[in-house]
Chain A
């Protein structure tokens, strides 16, 4: 028998005490997950129901319903035109807001946010006051042979009003993410400001600008309240779906609404692709 002393058993130390907050934390996690899931379900279920109920019929009608086809084309055309105007006029504004400190910048930002907060029928009424044939602007446009209210121009104006602030806000953020020192280096390498903007700032902010333009386009496509007041006819898709609902009921409105919902997948997919952003590189 070996009499050598055996090493003492390792002291296990005091028993581990259970975290008294663990149960509460688990409960909070379950409640949070449940609440999030409910919201997600609430947001996705109506669209899924709409597409499943009217998607196939809507796609079939694209072949047979000329009014639906032309309203979709009108929607795409006017939304694209409004987006182009927004990009051309909003990009310099966004750049200035991102780069320059000047008195009244906060006021300017607030003015730009205002259309997002005004109820859209109210926006339509305001635009009607500004651009209607009785107004100075509308009258002057008429003198030049341009009728705004009741034409695609009115649709573009309504779309621009409600969606341009989204572009300016996104573009401003995209420019703010580009360190001005990139431009500084380009300037010391011989570029005047405009060339530095074109060769350096614009490419670096490009993805953000494109994403903002897609958001603006999507918002323009989905606009109803301001358009319906400014230009009921010719009908864009959102007005057509409302018109069919009030004139013929749910069954006729459903295919148009479902096609509009499917159309929303295009900008959604684009945005997903664009937001796979690259890390900042210096």
Chain B
């Protein structure tokens, strides 16, 4: 378990400020944030390499205080690997290895056994990251701290190693905290997502929760939400059951209906939001595009004209102008072709009230 309570730390001019979150035993936590948000500093605090000036760090149920790194049972992998250049690959992996069996298993599973005789200087960036992962795992740590550990791997290798690390995490009962700037990676790996910016935790929760219910427009934007509108939400009272598609039970949990007024559009939303000024967030993949007013249960339905079509391989981003407000939808490229979507085409954009998140 990794628990931080109000942790404050300083590194040069940078400051981690009152960071609190918990990754329970056996969970895979992912810290997401832009460059310079304090992700690496956070890992160094957990590892005991940087002493906090306030707050508490508890690992595996024991408050660490000023416990040194070597007694914390952590394995740390930096993005730039920091392999010891005066040692061979084998000597690097064996540096802190728990025993020969663990050394062999870690090296085999990270695919670096074949590199054992090599000097560090001849390795590629990806190979270095794999050796660094094997070196940290060979110690058989209780807690694994990973700083962008897959960033230098090619896409195929990244997928394989990500899967292997996740499998080891599960088999060895590790508690893992990984740093990334890639939310997709967080979604694939993480049980817990911790969003960090400017040294502060903006939001923490399951990746699905953070993704679906961003705490602020900034978080929504960072997580790639395309449609963010500012405006005012008006409480419409208890929502009618047909507003919560397939989830009538939600109403029993205090969900209410809202009308959100923005730039000449009224969006309908359902949830446990607060009325007043704020923002509405709709992810592009929640918006469907049709050529006519097909009948469905979606509460939000807007006629408009396509202004931009951008193909992104399997997906196509379609921008629809609705009375001067751009709505961005993500369609499969196949659907876009079938609908013959092109700029100037009159279409209808629809999305459910449940797809509108107010924050």
Contact = CB atoms under 8 A, between A and B. Distances in A.
Interface size class of B (residues with CB under 8 A): 20 to 34
B96 A281 contact: no
Interface stretch (A135-143, A156-164, A180-188, A210-218): A180-188
B69 A281 contact: no
A184 B47 contact: yes
A190 B73 CA distance: 8
A7 B141 CA distance: 77
A8 B347 CA distance: 54
A191 B80 contact: no
A185 to B, nearest CB: 5
B139 A190 contact: yes
Interface of A is mostly: helix
A282 B86 contact: no
A182 B84 contact: yes
A59 interface: no
A278 interface: yes
B33 to A, nearest CB: 19
A184 B69 contact: yes
B76 A281 contact: no
A188 B80 contact: no
A277 to B, nearest CB: 12
Interface of B is mostly: loop
Contact of B95 (A189, A204, A278): A189
A281 B120 contact: yes
Contacts of A134: none
B78 interface: yes
Interface string A34-62: 00000000000000000000000000000
A192 interface: yes
Contacts of A200: 84
Contacts of A179: 82
A203 B136 CA distance: 21
B81 interface: yes
B117 interface: no
B85 A281 contact: yes
B271 interface: no
A282 B80 contact: yes
Given A184-B49, A187-B68, A278 B85 contact: yes
Contacts of B83: 281-282
B323 interface: no
Interface in B59-76: 68-70, 72, 74-76
A141 B83 CA distance: 49
B86 A188 contact: no
Interface of A: 179, 181-182, 184-193, 200, 203-204, 278, 281-282
14 contacts: A184-B44, A184-B49, A185-B84, A186-B84, A187-B69, A188-B74, A188-B139, A188-B141, A189-B75, A191-B70, A281-B83, A281-B120, A281-B121, A282-B82
Interface of B: 44, 47-49, 68-70, 72, 74-76, 78, 80-86, 95-96, 120-121, 128, 135-136, 139, 141, 145
